[in-house]
Amino acid sequence: MRERIDYVEREISEIVISDMQGAETFRIKYLGSKGVLKSLYQEFKAVPNEEKKEIGQRLNDLKQRLENVLASVQSNEPEKHSKYLVDFTRPGRSTPLGSIHPLTIVRNEIVSIFSTIGFSVSEGPEIEDDWHNFSALNFPPDHPARDMQDTFFVDSSIDGLSLRTHTSSVQVRVMETQKPPIRTISPGRVYRNEAISARAHCFFHQIEGLYIDKNVSFADLKQTLDYFAKSLFGESAKIRLRPSYFPFTEPSAEVDVSCSLCQGDGCNVCKHTGWLEILGCGMVDPNVLDACGIDSKEYNGFAFGMGVERIAQLKYRVNDLRLYSENDLRFLTQFHF
Ligand code: DAH
């Protein structure tokens, strides 16, 4: 019944009556003794009692509207009553705009920060072979990261083919095909065999960075990351580097950024340390350069890798990783750029 009333309302809002003949046709069709309104009132008798109040009200409104329309045309006062039944003063129906996924917003922002200083964007496949994901990156054959626990192997009959566990695999592909100087970042999705929870997921996103040239220093790395942190988190952001280990860099470091919430004073988000870990980095191990066909006696460089979810979490205070992939519109529509 509601749909029929909706339909009639829509129908009359589109009708244009241009003369008295039209007005009479309109009257017969909608208000006549065998008209639409009459049949709606017939149907109304069968409406359950608890809905009678609402639907009855709507029917009365509709009747009133039909009578007003007719009266306005019949009174023949064009300057007072428009012959159009469309109410031009009614607000228009807007087309809802989609929003951009928070991870896409963050990725675009990071890409734009690095493209300002001359980094290109490169991509690689999500299904990788052992060479690009591990061996060329100096992972020893028995390294735990190759383990079935961490890696999704695609087909056990095809040796070492797996879903990439990090975007560092793209470094290898770039170095194999390009000559230095190389300045590139590689955003993409990566996969690890983790149980899904608020803090871990079986897929997430990383952005890898690579800079290869002659005489690149650790200071260049630090300066680049400092520029990045200030561009992303604001001029007052500071970074600190802690020694770490990755097979593909030597020396390696983990990078913390000063907590933007408490300005370094200590809060729940930074667990009262004043610092938040955002990425891993280091000078590219000469073994990696040589494996990729770049002469490590002539060239050197730095690399870094960060998790996009982690940065989005810091920017938007989203502390459950599952929200990023559940497609819940209540979550997604909150993000505008
Ligand atoms: N691939 C590392 C990971 O997934 C991140 C990383 C650390 C990338 C240090 C790098 C790097 O390029 O130099 O945890």
Domain ranges of the chain: 2-84, 102-332
Which residue, 333, 92, 117, is CA-closest to 224? 117
Cβ-in-10-Å burial (0-12, 13-18, 19+) of 282 comes to buried
Query: Does the C-beta of 208 come closer than 6 Å to ligand 1?
Result: yes
Which residue, 116, 109, 102, is CA-closest to 234? 109
Residue 312 pLDDT more than 70?
Answer: yes
The minimum-distance atom of ligand 1 relative to the CA of 282 is 13
Query: Does the C-beta of 249 come closer than 6 Å to ligand 1?
Result: yes
298 Cα to the center of ligand 1, angstroms: 23
pLDDT in tens, 140-199: 988 888 877 789 998 766 678 999 999 999 999 999 999 999 999 999 999 999 999 888
Residue 297 pLDDT more than 90?
Answer: yes
Length of the chain: 337
CA 308 – CA 208 distance, rounded (Å): 10
Query: Does the C-beta of 307 come closer than 6 Å to ligand 1?
Result: no
The minimum-distance atom of ligand 1 relative to the CA of 284 is 13
Residue 273 pLDDT more than 60?
Answer: yes
Query: Does the C-beta of 280 come closer than 6 Å to ligand 1?
Result: yes
Q: If you take atom 3 of ligand 1, which residue's CA is the nearest one?
A: 166
CA 222 – CA 34 distance, rounded (Å): 84
Query: Does the C-beta of 114 come closer than 6 Å to ligand 1?
Result: no
Query: Does the C-beta of 304 come closer than 6 Å to ligand 1?
Result: yes
Q: Output the CA–CA distances (angstroms, integers) from residue 265 to 226, 238, 259, 335, in the order listed.
A: 20, 13, 8, 28
Greater model confidence, 149 or 93: 93
Q: Is 279 in contact with 311 (CB distance < 8 Å)? A: no
Residue 279: DSSP 8-state:
E
Q: pLDDT band at 94, cuts 50/70/90?
A: confident
9 Cα to the center of ligand 1, angstroms: 62
CA angle (122 as vertex; 120, 128 as ends), nearest 5: 160
Query: Does the C-beta of 283 come closer than 6 Å to ligand 1?
Result: no
Greater model confidence, 44 or 79: 44
pLDDT at 187: 98
Which residue, 229, 279, 232, is CA-closest to 254? 279
The minimum-distance atom of ligand 1 relative to the CA of 248 is 13
Give the Cβ contact number of residue 232 at 10 Å.
18
Average pLDDT over residues 92-104: 88
Residue 82 pLDDT more than 60?
Answer: no
Q: If you take atom 7 of ligand 1, which residue's CA is the nearest one?
A: 280
Average pLDDT over residues 299-316: 94
Query: Does the C-beta of 306 come closer than 6 Å to ligand 1?
Result: no
Tell me, what amino acid is at 139?
F
Pocket-testing residue among 138, 204, 246, ligand 1, by greatest number of atoms within 8 A of Cβ: 246
Token pair of 300, please? 């050197």
Judge if pTM exceeds 0.75: no
Query: Does the C-beta of 302 come closer than 6 Å to ligand 1?
Result: no
pLDDT at 91: 86
Note the Cα 25 to chain centre separation in Å: 54
Query: Does the C-beta of 151 come closer than 6 Å to ligand 1?
Result: no
Q: Output the CA–CA distances (angstroms, integers) from residue 172 to 98, 99, 182, in the order listed.
A: 37, 34, 12
Q: Is 184 in contact with 122 (CB distance < 8 Å)? A: yes
Give the Cβ contact number of residue 331 at 10 Å.
15
Query: Does the C-beta of 162 come closer than 6 Å to ligand 1?
Result: no
Q: Is 23 in contact with 73 (CB distance < 8 Å)? A: yes
pLDDT at 71: 84
pLDDT at 202: 94
pLDDT in tens, 62-77: 999 998 888 877 776 5
CATH topology of domain 102-332: BirA Bifunctional Protein; domain 2 (3.30.930)
Query: Does the C-beta of 40 come closer than 6 Å to ligand 1?
Result: no
Q: Output the CA–CA distances (angstroms, integers) from residue 337 to 99, 170, 206, in the order listed.
A: 8, 28, 20
Query: Does the C-beta of 205 come closer than 6 Å to ligand 1?
Result: no
CA 29 – CA 35 distance, rounded (Å): 5
Q: If you take atom 5 of ligand 1, which residue's CA is the nearest one?
A: 305
Average pLDDT over residues 290-315: 95
Average pLDDT over residues 312-326: 90
Phi, psi at residue 123, to the nearest 5°? -130, 160
Query: Does the C-beta of 281 come closer than 6 Å to ligand 1?
Result: yes
168 Cα to the center of ligand 1, angstroms: 6
